[in-house]
C-alpha cells in the first residue's frame, strides 16, 4: 500500500469523531483523535501530523484559531487542513480558507467525499515533500565540491566566519588545518588526470574517517589544497590530529593499474584561534597563518606538520 500520512482529528462531538476514525482507518490511515483545539495543538508538539481534520466550533479553542496557530507554529512542514462544520455559507467558507484551511466539508459529512478530499491532500503533501527533497539536493550541490564531495570554496567563505563568531561567543578555541598534497602536479603528469582525481577522492575519504562527524568539516580551498575546520579544538589537539592525518595519508596504497600502486604524502599548516588570548581575528587571518606554516612544512622537506597559535610568527 502506498504510504499514507497520519491524520489528527479534532472533533468534540464523539459520534462524529468515531465515524471519521472508522472511515479513515478502514481506508488504511493511522488516526489520532482529540476533543478540542488545545489538545490538538499539544498533540502536534509531541508528534507532527501532516493531515488535520478539525471541527470549527470547539470548547477552549475554535477550529479557526487552531488553523492560524498551526500555520504560525509549524511553517517548516506543511499541514493539509480540512475544516469540518455545519456552516455552509460562502462567507464562512472564505473565513475558514483565509484562516489557513485547505479544504472544507459540511456536516453531516459524506464518507466517500471525506476520503476523496483526504486523497487530494495526500497528493499535495507528496508533491510538497518531493519539492523539499529536490530543493535540499540543489542546496547540497551548491555547497559541495563535485569531485571530492567535500565542501566547496563558497561554503568555506560563508561558514568559516560563522565558526569564528561562534568561537568568540562561547569562548571556545577554533583550529584550522591547511593541507596540500605533495607533488600533486607530478602525479597528474606521470599517471594522468583521472588518477589525480582518484587521489583527491581517496585523500578526502581518508580525512573524513579521522575527524569528528557533524562537528569537524573539510573544504576544498583550491586544486589540491584543503582546509579542515576543528571547532572547540585547542592547538595541541589540532597538531595531534594533523600528525595523525599525515600518517594515515602516507599509509594509503593507491592502485595506478592492476600491476602498480603508489603512495602519496601531504604537508600541513596548523593554526588555532583562542578567544582567551586574541579577541580579534578573521577567516583571512587564520588562513594566512596556516598558509605560512604550510609553506614552512614544504621547506622542511614536505610530509611535515608545522603550526603556531594565531598571531605567533612562524619559525
**Catalytic site residues?**
224
Report how far apart the first and last C-alpha atoms of the chain are (Å, whole number): 68
Q: What are the backbone angles phi and psi of residue 11, rounded to the nearest 5°?
A: -150, 120
Q: Strand 305-309 and strand 217-222: pairing?
A: unpaired
CA separation for the pair 146, 138 (Å, rounded): 12
Amino acid at each position: 500500500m502506498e504510504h499514507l500520512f497520519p491524520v489528527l482529528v479534532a472533533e468534540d462531538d464523539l459520534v462524529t469523531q468515531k465515524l471519521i476514525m472508522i472511515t479513515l482507518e478502514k481506508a488504511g490511515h493511522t488516526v489520532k483523535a482529540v476533543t478540542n483545539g488545545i489538545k490538538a495543538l499539544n498533540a502536534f508538539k509531541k508528534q507532527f501530523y501532516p493531515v488535520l481534520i478539525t471541527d470549527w466550533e470547539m470548547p477552549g479553542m475554535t477550529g479557526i484559531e487552531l488553523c492560524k496557530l498551526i500555520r504560525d507554529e509549524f511553517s517548516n512542514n506543511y499541514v493539509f487542513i480540512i475544516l469540518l462544520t455545519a456552516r455552509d455559507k460562502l462567507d464562512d467558507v472564505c473565513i475558514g480558507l483565509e484562516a489557513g484551511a485547505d479544504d472544507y466539508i459540511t456536516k453531516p459529512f459524506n464518507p466517500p467525499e471525506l476520503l476523496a478530499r483526504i486523497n487530494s491532500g495526500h497528493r499535495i503533501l507528496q508533491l510538497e515533500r518531493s519539492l523539499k527533497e529536490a530543493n535540499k539536493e540543489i542546496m547540497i550541490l551548491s555547497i559541495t565540491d563535485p569531485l571530492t564531495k567535500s565542501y566547496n570554496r563558497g561554503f568555506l567563505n560563508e561558514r568559516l566566519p560563522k565558526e569564528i563568531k561562534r568561537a568568540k561567543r562561547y569562548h571556545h578555541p577554533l583550529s584550522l588545518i591547511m593541507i596540500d598534497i605533495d607533488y600533486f602536479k607530478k602525479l597528474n603528469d606521470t599517471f594522468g588526470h583521472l588518477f589525480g582525481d582518484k587521489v583527491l577522492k581517496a585523500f578526502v575519504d581518508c580525512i573524513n574517517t579521522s575527524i569528528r562527524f557533524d562537528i569537524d568539516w573539510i573544504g576544498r580551498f583550491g586544486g589540491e589544497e584543503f582546509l579542515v575546520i576543528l571547532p572547540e579544538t585547542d592547538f595541541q589537539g589540532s597538531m595531534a590530529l594533523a600528525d595523525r592525518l599525515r600518517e594515515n595519508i602516507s599509509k594509503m596504497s593507491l592502485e595506478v593499474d592492476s600491476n602498480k600502486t603508489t603512495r602519496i604524502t601531504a604537508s600541513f599548516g596548523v593554526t588555532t584561534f583562542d578567544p582567551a588570548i586574541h579577541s580579534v581575528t578573521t577567516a583571512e587571518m587564520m588562513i594566512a597563518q596556516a598558509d605560512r606554516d604550510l609553506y614552512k612544512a614544504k621547506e622542511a622537506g614536505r610530509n611535515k606538520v608545522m603550526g603556531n597559535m594565531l598571531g605567533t610568527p612562524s619559525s
